[in-house]
Structure 1
């Protein structure tokens, strides 16, 4: 059964929304309620959001190192939580104590902690248990709401899977990266100060120039004088724990702070270089050739067929030797046919006259050969096996079709859920006292 990566998932719950800051947002609004932390700052469909809740959410977002942790982000997150809870309540959806406790445990486990240990960390950072519980509960009821209202509407076709697989095949695999580094010393007892500086640098870095300026000012490595720039290096030469972090980044992005022994490290990804999988440019052609008696007959067929299935139906009364359909690799297509098929898109036709006979050629589908004959998923044996280490996966292997289908399915469900939340937001009455 497909796993729905929504609701309680941290990324979904912390994601920024398209809604801009509400009018009057800022520290002044917080200051107005300084004497009463439970004074409402705003109402969402008559459900109050208090100054205390906003302050708690800011602290919680900061602790989770969310991309946005200011007052605007906290208010918007709480507004969306109210809307999620409102939709779930309207649908009669609630969360049981068992579900909430399981959600708390699952969330805490992402930091390799138990619930009590995680709540202790929260308390030491000024975050109440109820803030954590409310956050998780909102995710649980929204996930169930999405399951009931959205899940059944999502469909992924074989054609969509083919298109995604084709995209994967045509996307170069990253083999080298151009990085800049910034290493902030974190002596014992000063780890928090170094982390705070790193987070501030992340929030203020927009360009490579920004990063270079910070590197010259704060980095403790020789590369600092060069703005932190490192020579382009093969991805395989970098530590295995760093590779997945870099593969999730796009050129022009800065990494989140990475704590290491005695330091906090930041990376800026300047560029990537890659190569296609072996065989990625090879194609398989599914096409038809119909031998006809005249160009007029060929023209008539051209006018009434839109697909190869149409052409098969229209020529079903012809002798079998006059109708040919095959799927072969590009190298197996006769040169004459190959030249003409090269300029056709799927379901396009061309007429070839040989004087006494006429051929109608139709390209049914052009596909990457790797879709038909994908690389083996089996691990590649290496010398590491001799040392008792497992063989490495085949780097040229494609993801399984079912895995790609599930990714597309989750993406569609996520987009539908986001659209539903946007509708709730558009129809809500959001006001300040």
Structure 2
């Protein structure tokens, strides 16, 4: 059974859904009802009709969208009207070649041509225009975001540092606690099993919910125990399943996974892991200015908010009295290390040795892994495929792109919310 994994241009609307041919045929004859083309809602004087909502529901059902029901379809169409309105105001029009490319890309994800996909839609009561409208809405919004919002997004080195620190301090999952639910799907009854699995996913809000469904529907011995499996090393699981589980948070359920003769669900109860080797080691950047009196040190400390400020102040003294360096914490003399340990970035302390005064300032404390990270190393297989080594960190450019894409998405959602707040949305 073929599947179409959604592309990036539509993932924001139907994230995590798949297309499954043969979901069920909807007769098109019902589309001639007298009230079908009646406006349901106006968005800045652009009508959304009952027919469009009906078509979108059928389309979402075919794509196995999690909320394939009229309310979700209506909201999606309203948002598309708002996006199209913004694009039109910016004089953004979809190019024919871009539309054709978008249609081809969408259909090709199921190894289908556009004509084959349109024929499949028609068999399920969905018009080609519904498909085209869906793709065009994604294209014009993508172009609008690229032209009007992308240029406003900036990613600072400090944001990259913070993200790298977060990655380093997050334990790498080594074991998972799963519960399973396996629904038999004999030939000819695959759609029935899939529909049941989707209902279970939508109604599962806790481990107790999942366990109840497992006892009722699962065809495995674990059903008696609510589907619970022992804590399992992640490495022991099929390679295709690992990335799916790693996208979940404990307490979440996978989308239905179709295997030969069955539909499978997993509930993630817990994860256990360990830090990367060296994750707790730090590199310290600090400065030291040697002075004659504590009063002089206090005066300079009062006007030095950062290490750069302190470096400016040090220019009035011999070079031998000033030091600024970045070293692993293990290489810092014990006396200085103890005092730096309690400081935050750009915080200073005065150390009186009796014969002299040191003004110490912590410039920056960084994980050693981040400080030494270049481009992430890769492991090359015999076949020439390259994959990231298990303990490798992503490179800074990769992290920058991840942050950038996230901020662009957030900016787009914020702007859409503004469009919604300022729009005239009314019902007849």
Calculate the TM-score normalised by the size of structure 2.
0.91
Q: Is 1:165 aligned to residue 164 of structure 2?
A: yes
Structure 2 distance, partners of 1:274, 1:414, is 30
Q: Residue 118 of structure 1 aligns to a residue in which SS? A: helix
Contact 2:37–2:49 (8 Å) recurs in 1:
yes
Task: Tell me the residue number matched to 1:397.
Answer: 392
Structure 2 distance, partners of 1:84, 1:8, is 17
Alpha carbons of structure 1 residues 7 and 157: separation in structure 2 relative to 1, 3 Å: farther
Contact 2:183–2:262 (8 Å) recurs in 1:
yes
Please list, as runs of the form range in 1=range in 2, the aligned pairs for 1:285-304 lying within 5 A after superposition: 285-304=284-303
Moved over 4 A (4+): 388-392
Task: Tell me the residue number matched to 1:129.
Answer: 128
Task: Tell me the residue number matched to 2:332.
Answer: 333
Alpha carbons of structure 1 residues 187 and 15: separation in structure 2 relative to 1, 3 Å: closer
Structure 2 distance, partners of 1:256, 1:56, is 24
Task: Tell me the residue number matched to 1:95.
Answer: 94
Task: Tell me the residue number matched to 1:11.
Answer: 11
Task: Tell me the residue number matched to 1:83.
Answer: 82
Calculate the TM-score normalised by the size of structure 1.
0.90
Q: Is 1:416 aligned to residue 411 of structure 2?
A: yes
Alpha carbons of structure 1 residues 43 and 7: separation in structure 2 relative to 1, 3 Å: farther
Q: Residue 284 of structure 1 aligns to a residue in which SS? A: strand
Structure 2 distance, partners of 1:151, 1:374, is 28
How far residue 395 of structure 1 moved from its aligned partner, in angstroms, is 0.5
Task: Tell me the residue number matched to 1:186.
Answer: 185
Task: Tell me the residue number matched to 1:3.
Answer: none
Structure 2 distance, partners of 1:179, 1:425, is 40
Please list, as runs of the form range in 1=range in 2, the aligned pairs for 1:33-432 lying within 5 A after superposition: 35-374=34-373, 377-380=376-379, 385=382, 393-432=388-427
Residues 249-299 of structure 1 deviation map (CA, whole Å, 9 limit, x = unaligned)? 110001100000110000100111111110000000000111100000010
Structure 2 unaligned spans of 5+: 1-5, 17-29
Alpha carbons of structure 1 residues 149 and 124: separation in structure 2 relative to 1, 3 Å: same
Q: Residue 60 of structure 2 aligns to a residue in which SS? A: helix
Structure 2 distance, partners of 1:60, 1:10, is 13
* Matched pairs, number: 409
How far residue 380 of structure 1 moved from its aligned partner, in angstroms, is 4.5
* Larger mean Cα displacement after TM superposition, 67-76 or 104-113: 104-113
Q: Residue 266 of structure 2 aligns to a residue in which SS? A: strand
How far residue 125 of structure 1 moved from its aligned partner, in angstroms, is 2.3
Alpha carbons of structure 1 residues 406 and 315: separation in structure 2 relative to 1, 3 Å: same
Contact 1:255–1:266 (8 Å) recurs in 2:
yes
**RMSD (Å) for aligned C-alpha atoms:** 2.1
Contact 1:8–1:140 (8 Å) recurs in 2:
no
Structure 2 distance, partners of 1:241, 1:302, is 57
Q: Residue 236 of structure 1 aligns to a residue in which SS? A: helix
Alpha carbons of structure 1 residues 80 and 15: separation in structure 2 relative to 1, 3 Å: farther
Contact 1:287–1:365 (8 Å) recurs in 2:
yes
Structure 1 unaligned spans of 5+: 1-5, 17-30
Contact 2:43–2:426 (8 Å) recurs in 1:
yes
How far residue 390 of structure 1 moved from its aligned partner, in angstroms, is 5.6
Alpha carbons of structure 1 residues 74 and 390: separation in structure 2 relative to 1, 3 Å: closer
